């Protein structure tokens, strides 16, 4: 499968940047899947199902390709936080995360020809320091929280809120690279630089 076309089923600029940095050549096709949690669905199952649905939706349109999809959620105090709908919800999410440790789950799925080859959740633990109301207001006003699960970005100024991280930083950004690279390699898909024999 070394010549298989790889497609990232995500419009996330962070996932695109992470995968690009590894040397993979790929196309981006957004799935169009509505991200909506089912009644009594656990956070982990929700992320897994959504990632799989995204991969399958694009796979149905592009049959002869390998489709990589992912979905990220944040869990704090048994509350599941996805992307904030508006600034008020972003403020509420940040207040919830303030001075607490929360769980970040990114589930990724790989599909081809309408079949899920692998789907797996990866977990990181993130601890926030106490946030002041003025810090929250300034951060929300920056616009950075609005397209991110949990209303913050570890790759941006949101990293200033973090005092401790257990697990993968890439996972918190939205794509657990180590696990994804191992999975892609198992199906014969390697970065372009690896194919050229360059280990740099």
Total count of domains within the chain: 1
Domain presence at residue 20? yes
- In terms of residue numbers, what domain contains 100? 6-195
Is residue 36 included in any domain, yes or no?
yes
CA 94/CA 80 separation, integer angstroms: 13
List the CATH number of the domain containing 115.
3.90.950.10
Please tell me the predicted confidence (pLDDT) of residue 200.
36
Q: What is the mean pLDDT of the chain?
A: 91
The Cα–Cα gap between 192 and 195 comes to: 5
> 126 forms bridges with which residues in the sheet?
102, 165
Quote the pTM value: 0.89
Q: Is there a catalytic annotation at residue 88?
A: no
Say if 200 falls within a structural domain. no
pLDDT value of position 194: 47
Query: Is 1 within the bounds of a domain?
Result: no
Average confidence (pLDDT) over 129-133: 97
Q: Report d(CA 78, CA 29) in Å as an integer.
A: 33
Could you tell me how many helices (H) and strands (E) the chain has, helices first?
A: 7, 7
> What single DSSP character describes residue 171?
H
Q: How would you classify residue 167: left for phi > 0, otherwise alpha for psi between -120 and 50, otherwise beta?
A: left
What pLDDT score does 198 carry? Answer: 42
Looking at the predicted structure, is the pLDDT value of residue 107 above 50?
yes
Q: List the catalytic residue out of 27, 40, 71, 78.
A: 71
110-122: per-residue pLDDT in tens?
Answer: 999 999 999 999 9
Among the listed residues 9, 54, 12, the one whose alpha carbon sits nearest the alpha carbon of residue 36:
54
């Amino acid at each position: 499968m070394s010549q298989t076309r790889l497609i990232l089923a995500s419009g996330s600029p962070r996932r695109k940047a992470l995968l690009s940095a590894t040397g993979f050549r790929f196309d981006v096709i957004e799935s169009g899947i509505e991200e909506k949690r089912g009644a009594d669905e656990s956070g982990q199952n929700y992320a897994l199902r959504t990632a799989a649905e995204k991969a399958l939706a694009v796979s149905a349109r592009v049959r002869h390709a390998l489709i990589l999809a992912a979905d990220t959620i944040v869990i704090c105090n048994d509350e599941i936080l996805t992307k904030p709908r508006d600034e008020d919800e972003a403020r509420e999410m940040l207040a919830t995360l303030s001075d607490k440790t929360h769980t970040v789950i990114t589930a990724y799925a790989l599909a081809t020809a309408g079949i899920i080859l692998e789907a797996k959740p990866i977990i990181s633990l993130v601890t926030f320091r106490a946030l002041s109301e003025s810090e929250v207001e300034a951060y929300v006003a920056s616009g950075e929280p609005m397209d991110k699960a949990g209303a913050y970005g570890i790759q941006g100024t949101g990293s200033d809120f973090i005092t401790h991280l257990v697990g993968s930083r890439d996972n918190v950004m939205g794509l657990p690279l180590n696990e994804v690279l191992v999975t892609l390699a198992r199906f014969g898909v390697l970065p372009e630089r690896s194919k050229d024999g360059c280990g740099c």
